[in-house]
Amino acid sequence: GKDNSYGHPHAEPLSRLRQAGVVILRTDELGTIQAVSDGKTVAFTWENQSATPENTEPAVPTVFIGNQKSKKFHSPDCANLPAKKNAVEFSSYQAAIDAGFTPCSSCLK
């Protein structure tokens, strides 16, 4: 936590995370943090509900839809989603990249 003897969290990685739009949940500021999932979405709750996590801009989607024909992948709300017969689902951005897909230039800039 903050002001501990080993210097974590370090300012440089926190700065990079903020620049990338990552929501930062810190136990030293929020208390105990819980993640609860229904299998499709994840919700976070924390002990100190009056505190606000850093950088609470919209998060990157947790599911991406790939087009098996074009090898492009999209956010779930993209206007260019493939037909269901050509669609493949990825659990992360990196999983889509690892499968040889490239991000859609419209929805994943």
Over 70: is that where the pLDDT of 8 sits?
Answer: yes
In a domain, 109, yes or no: no
**pLDDT tens digits, one per residue of 55-98:** 555 555 468 899 999 999 998 888 899 999 999 999 888 889 99
Which is it for the CA torsion 25, 27, 29, 35, positive or negative? positive
**pLDDT tens digits, one per residue of 14-59:** 777 777 777 888 887 788 888 888 787 888 888 766 656 555 555 5
pTM for the full predicted model: 0.46
**pLDDT tens digits, one per residue of 95-104:** 899 999 999 9
Helix (H) or strand (E) holding 93: helix 93-98
| Same domain as 50, residue 68 | no
Q: How many domains does the chain have?
A: 2
| Same domain as 74, residue 23 | no
In a domain, 11, yes or no: yes
In a domain, 37, yes or no: yes
| Same domain as 25, residue 73 | no
In a domain, 42, yes or no: yes
Q: Which residues neighbour 26 within 8 Å (Cβ) at sequence distance 6 or greater?
A: 1, 2, 9, 53, 54
Count the alpha carbons within 13 Å of 97 in the hemisphere toward its beta carbon. Answer: 5
Query: Which of these three, 56, 75, 94, is where a domain ends?
Result: 56
| Same domain as 45, residue 79 | no
> What domain range includes position 47?
1-56
| Same domain as 43, residue 23 | yes
Residue 64 near residue 74, CB atoms below 8 Å: yes
| Same domain as 74, residue 36 | no
Q: Which residue did the predictor score with more confidence, 5 or 90?
A: 90
